[in-house]
Amino acid sequence: MDVMPKWAEVILVPLISLLLAAILSALVILAIGEDPVAAVKLMVSGALGSTYGWGYTLYYATNFMFTGLAVAIAFHARLFNIGGEGQATLGGLGVALACLYIPWPHWSLALVGATVMAGLFGAAWAAVPAFLQAKRGSHIVITTIMFNFIAAAVLNYVLVNLMRPAGSMDPATARFPEAAHLPTLHDMLTPLGISFSKAAPANVSLLVAVGACILLWVLIWRTKLGYEIRAYGHSESAAKYAGISPVKITMVAMLISGALAGMMAINNVMGEAERLVLNAVEGAGFIGIAVALMGRSHPLGVFLAAILFGFLYQGGAELALWTSIPRELIVVIQALVILFTGALDNMVRMPLERMFLAARMRRAPKPDRKPTTPAQ
Kindly list the residues in this chain that would bind another protein in the complex (CB under 8 A). Answer: 28, 31-33, 80, 82, 128, 132, 136-139, 141-143, 145-147, 149-150, 153-154, 156-157, 160-161, 286, 289, 293, 324-326, 328-336, 338-339, 342-347, 350, 373, 376
Query: Which lies closer to another protein via its Cβ, residue 153 or residue 166?
Result: 153
d(CA 123, CA 87): 7
179 and 103 Cβ atoms separated by less than 8 Å:
yes
Q: By C-beta, is 32 or 194 nearer to another protein?
A: 32
Least distance from another protein to the Cβ atom of residue 315, Å: 15
From the CB of 45, what's the least distance to another protein, in Å? 22
What 3-state class would DSSP assign to 178? helix
Least distance (Å) from another protein to the CB of residue 365?
23
Considering the complex, state which of residue 170 and residue 328 has its C-beta at the smaller distance from another protein.
328
330 closest CA partner among 16, 52, 60, 148: 60
What are the helix (H) ranges across the chain?
Answer: 6-7, 13-31, 36-48, 51-76, 84-101, 107-131, 140-157, 185-189, 205-222, 224-234, 236-241, 246-263, 265, 284-294, 299-322, 328-338, 345-363
CB of 243 to another protein, least distance (A): 27
Q: How far, in Å, CA of 159 to CA of 55, rounded? A: 29
Name which of 18 and 145 has its Cβ closer to another protein.
145
Phi, psi of 165 (to 5 degrees): -65, 150
Residues 363, 376: Cα–Cα separation, whole Å = 24
Cβ(47)–Cβ(58) under 8 Å?
no
Q: Cβ(78)–Cβ(225) under 8 Å?
A: no
How near is the Cβ of 262 to another protein at its closest, in Å? Answer: 19
Residue 135 Cβ, how far from another protein at the closest point, in Å?
Answer: 9
- Nearer CB in complex with another protein: 185/290: 290
CB 199 within 8 A of CB 55: yes
Q: CA neighbours within 13 Å on the CB side: how many for 101?
A: 9
Q: Which is nearer to another protein, 153 or 192 (CB)?
A: 153
| Minimum CB distance to another protein, residue 24 (Å) | 10
Query: With respect to another protein, which residue has the nearer C-beta, 17 or 205?
Result: 17
